[in-house]
Amino acid sequence: MKFLDLAKVYIRSGGGGGGSVSFRREKFIEYGGPDGGDGGKGGDVWAEAVEGLNTLIDFRYQQHFFAKSGQHGMGSQMTGKSGDPVVLRVPVGTEILEEDEETVIADLTEPGQRVLLAKGGNGGWGNLHFKSSTNRSPRNANPGQPGIERTLWLRLKLIADAGLVGLPNAGKSTFLAATSNARPKIADYPFTTLHPNLGVVGVDGREFVMADIPGLIEGASEGRGIGDRFLGHIERCAVLLHLVDGTSEDVAGDARTVLTELAAYSPVLMDKPRITALNKIDALDEETIAERQAELEAEIGGPVFLMSGVAKEGVTDVLRALWSQIAVARGLTSTPVETVEKWQP
């Protein structure tokens, strides 16, 4: 299944049915009078967050959602049938925006959460409602109210507890594959990851969800590369894990590039707790590891973990540090492990 996190939809609620002009005419019944029924209500358009979906690909093939109109009223005081509603079933974590792509209408973050996008028009009154002492035979009825047309955007932000960031080939997908059952594509060339991947990670009997997004490059906040398209998926995370390739000749510069792009994209990301790890230490000698760890700590202003996703060295310590921040976000504890960096742009 292809991954799609942005879709444009066109919706229209149903119009109300018109009221009926009718008179009761039966044998042996004198002065039957008006008996026109009301029109039925038009169908509403709803959006509902459901489990089991992680992409908006369905909305690429169906973009128009029109609810049924209500039926007209009938004689014998019969009200017309209401139009059936239309429900857009979206993944948990979907934002619904106005046509300007900026105004947020709703943010569906819980399964079963619903929001009314367009209310159906009310049905018109039949002539029975207009009967009075001075107007015994009203011959007028109300038309139904028209439906509402809207153009909306659906934007998916995946629900994850921790997010992986770093340059291409920093080892993010390898780390996710080593710590969960997720099987992202892994290769020795940049931008192997083309869309976000989720994995359930466990440590010390506890589980949390981790998101891996495509790598960032310099100028990503201005549209270079593809990583900036998916930064929204880590805005909901409680903590970020910043992986730095230990085999790089300039680990401090690599870290600065990623953090600068995060700051340029959104202050929200910069305010999140971040844990930094020097990856691929299995390919380095001890002297080089110590030298590059010191460079990285001086750059970010905080501690740096040492790990190798391939050899699974130091992975448990990193996961425990992540969990300490997630536990604070969940309200399970108020004392996180002091491992968060202090970098400022």
Annotated binding-site residues for Mg(2+) read 173, 193
Q: Which backbone phi and psi does 290 adopt, to 5 degrees?
A: -65, -40
How far is residue 8 from each of residues 57, 71, 117, 154, measured CA to CA in Å?
A: 11, 30, 14, 6
Contact indicator for 71, 80 with CB cutoff of 8 Å:
yes
Distance, CA of 88 to CA of 117 (rounded, Å)? 10
How far is residue 218 from each of residues 166, 171, 221, 222, 260, measured CA to CA in Å?
A: 11, 18, 8, 9, 8
Task: State the amino acid at position 184 in one-letter form.
Answer: P
Question: CB count, 10 Å around CB of 7?
Answer: 20
Distance, CA of 53 to CA of 131 (rounded, Å)? 53
Distance, CA of 314 to CA of 316 (rounded, Å)? 6
What is the maximum span of the chain, computed from C-alpha positions, in angstroms? 109
Q: Which residues fall within 8 angstroms of residue 88, CB to CB, at 6 or more apart?
A: 9, 11, 45, 46, 47, 48, 59, 65, 117, 154
Q: Which backbone phi and psi does 210 adopt, to 5 degrees?
A: -120, 140
Residue ranges for the known binding site are 166-173, 191-195, 212-215, 279-282, 308-310
Residue ranges for the known binding site for GTP are 166-173, 191-195, 212-215, 279-282, 308-310
Q: Which of 187, 185, 181, 188 is nearest to 196 (CA)?
A: 185
